[in-house]
A and B are shown apart, each in its own frame.
Chain A
Amino acid sequence: MWLPILFLVIGLSLGLLTDLQIPAAYSDYLSIAVLAAFDTLLGGIRAHLERKFDEVVFITGFFFNVALAALLAFLGVQLGVDLYLAAVFAFGVRLFQNIAIIRRIIIDQNLLVKLRKK
C-alpha cells in the first residue's frame, strides 16, 4: 500500500530535481500522457477498492492508454483537427467518475465500520 505512494513521491522529486524540460512543441503530448496516467492510476485504485484489481490489466492499461493518447494527439496534429481534446474529454469524464466511485466506496466502508461498532 505504501510502496506505490513512496515511489510516486520519489518520482516527483526525481523529476523536480533533474530540472528536465520538454520542448513546447511536445508539451501537448506530455500533458495528455499525464492525464492518461492519472486516469489509469485512479482506475487502479477504484478496482482495488472494488476488489477486482488485476495487475495485468493495470499495467497494460497504463501503457496502452498513454500510447493511445499520444497517438491520438499526434494524429490530430497531422490532420489539423484538435483530436487531443477528445482524449482530454474522455479521460476527464472517466477521472471524475472514478473519483466519485472511490468516494462512495470509502463512505460505504466507513458507514459499515460505524454500524458494526454500534
Chain B
Amino acid sequence: MSHLKKLSKWMVSFICLFIGFMVAVQFQTTTAEPEVRDTRDEWEIREALQQEQEKQQELLQKISSADKTLEDYEEQSSEEQLATLKQSIDSLEQRLGLTEVKGKGIEVQVSPIIFEGVSNAQTYPELSPELLTRMINDLNTYGASEIAIGNERLTNLSPIRNVNGSTYVNNRPLPSLPLTIQVLSEEPQKLKDYMEASQSRDVFNIESLEIDVEVKEELKVPKYDAPLHLEILEETGE
C-alpha cells in the first residue's frame, strides 16, 4: 500500500513537472518577439555604420555650438546676453523662414500648354497638389535651400492641399497659371540642369503643363507671415 502511495506521489510530481514545463514554454512563446534577422551584407553594414558616424559627428557639432552659446551667455554682461539672445532668435527665424532672403537661385515658370489647332473645348490645366509636391521634392533633392511658390514661402510646416478643387499652399489658394516658383540655391546652374532633366518635367507635360527654368543672380524670396502652429511638435529625442 505504501509502495503504491509512494509511486503515485512520484507520478503526481512528474505531472507537476510536466505542467510547469508546459507553462514555461507557453510563457516563452507568448512573450517572445518575432526574431528580426540581420540580412545586411558587409557593404550595407558599412554604410549604416557610416551613417551613424555622420549622425554622431553632427550631434557633436551641435553640442559644441550649444556649449559655445552657453559660454557666451556666462561670460557676457546682461546687455551682451540680450544681444546674443536676439542673435539666436534671428538665426532661428531665418532657419524657419520668417525672414526675407536674397540670393542667387532659379526661377521656375509653370505655364499651361494650349493646343490652338485643336477645336474641341479644352479644360484649362491646373496645378494639382500632387504635382507640386513632386516638384518640390525634386527641388529639395537637387539642392534647393529656400522655396517660394508664387508669393508663398515654403517652410518645413507648409501644407500643400487640395481644398474644394483648388490647390492651397500655407492655407491660401494659389493663383491660376502661369505661376512662378522661386528657388534659392548655392549652385543655381546645377539645379537648373537637374530640373531640365528631371522626371517631374515629363509628368508636368502629361498634365499639359510646361516648365521653364531660368537662372537668376539676384532673387528675393518673401517671408512666411502666417502664424506658426507648433502645439503638436515634440522633440525627437536625438
Contact = CB atoms under 8 A, between A and B. Distances in A.
Contacts of B17: 7-8, 10-11, 14
Given A21-B29, A22-B29, A15 B15 contact: no
Contacts of A20: 25, 28
A14 to B, nearest CB: 6
Contacts of A59: 8, 11-12, 15
B8 A37 contact: no
B20 A15 contact: yes
Interface in A29-67: 30-31, 33-34, 37-38, 40-41, 44, 55, 58-59, 62
Interface residues on A, range: 20 to 34
Interface in B2-31: 8-30
A8 B25 contact: no
Interface residues of B, number: 24
Given A16-B24, A21-B29, A11 B9 contact: no
A3 B21 contact: no
A46 to B, nearest CB: 14
A10 B14 CA distance: 10
A5 B13 CA distance: 8
B21 A11 contact: yes
B25 A9 contact: no
A109 interface: no
Given A4-B12, A7-B14, A55-B12, A30 B20 contact: no
Nearest to B28: A21
Interface of B: 8-30, 32
Given A3-B9, A11-B23, A62-B15, 8 more contacts: A3-B10, A5-B16, A8-B17, A12-B21, A14-B17, A14-B24, A21-B29, A41-B16
21 contacts: A4-B13, A10-B20, A11-B21, A11-B22, A12-B20, A13-B20, A13-B24, A14-B24, A15-B23, A15-B24, A15-B27, A16-B27, A19-B28, A20-B28, A21-B29, A22-B25, A22-B26, A27-B29, A31-B30, A37-B22, A38-B19
